[in-house]
A = this chain, B = another copy of it.
């Protein structure tokens, strides 16, 4: 059961829920539950069956593939207002998770039981369309990712990653490496190169982009 505050925040993050008839929304509120998860928690993991459909209110989830040797690669990131498409895939395809989800910051989310998800999905076009749009976006992302990993050099991928974030960037080289599926040293060296070009200024846990134009050009964006 969701309290009033949560209900209104849910509607704010997921406007498509407004299109549901009031009765349906009521029963959604009744069957759902809220969850709080600290940062760095494994929310779901490879080969796990899927519990329910999460609606993120705050925080973010990194969806990653982990390699046996400890390296990892980020597939995509789930933000509030989105939902984990992997979960939809599990629920609809009756399969198991094929990747790992880790909370990046503390999460606040509403968990919709599988049955409610199926009901909503079967009955309401708005909900279906929402899920489908997410699906289709993720598919696009993944195809981009595949071709980036297969054909692009790491320096370009790194440049792209950096310009895609908000400017003074607070993160570690290791985190960037994990996002790219590479090793920390490589990222350090490449960043040094960028700095020598005058494109960025480096500091501890900080990267400041000083020449966005050149960096974008290099990233072929």
Indicate if the CB atoms of A122 and B122 lie closer than 8 Å: no
Contact with B along A136-167 (1 / 0, CB 8 A): 11111011111101110000000000000000
- Considering only CB atoms and an 8 Å cut-off, how many residues of chain A contact the other chain? 39
- A23: chain B residues within 8 A (beta carbon): none
**CB contact between A151 and one of B73, B88, B99, B135 (< 8 Å): that residue:** B73
A127 CB, nearest partner CB in chain B, Å: 12
- A146: chain B residues within 8 A (beta carbon): 65, 73, 75, 142, 145-146, 149
Question: CA of A6 to CA of B95 in the docked complex: distance in angstroms?
Answer: 33
- A contacts with B: majority SS: helix
- Do A92 and B150 contact each other (CB < 8 Å), given the known contacts A139-B85, A142-B142? no
Indicate if the CB atoms of B99 and A133 lie closer than 8 Å: no
- A136: chain B residues within 8 A (beta carbon): 88-90, 92-93, 95
- A133: chain B residues within 8 A (beta carbon): 92-93
- A181: chain B residues within 8 A (beta carbon): 150-151
- A98: chain B residues within 8 A (beta carbon): 139-140, 143-144
Q: Is A170 among interface residues, defined by CB-CB distance under 8 A? A: no
Contact with B along A70-105 (1 / 0, CB 8 A): 010101000000000110111011010011000000
- A218: chain B residues within 8 A (beta carbon): none
User: Shortest 8 CB-CB distances between A and B: which pairs?
Assistant: A93-B136, A65-B147, A67-B151, A89-B136, A150-B181, A142-B142, A92-B132, A73-B150
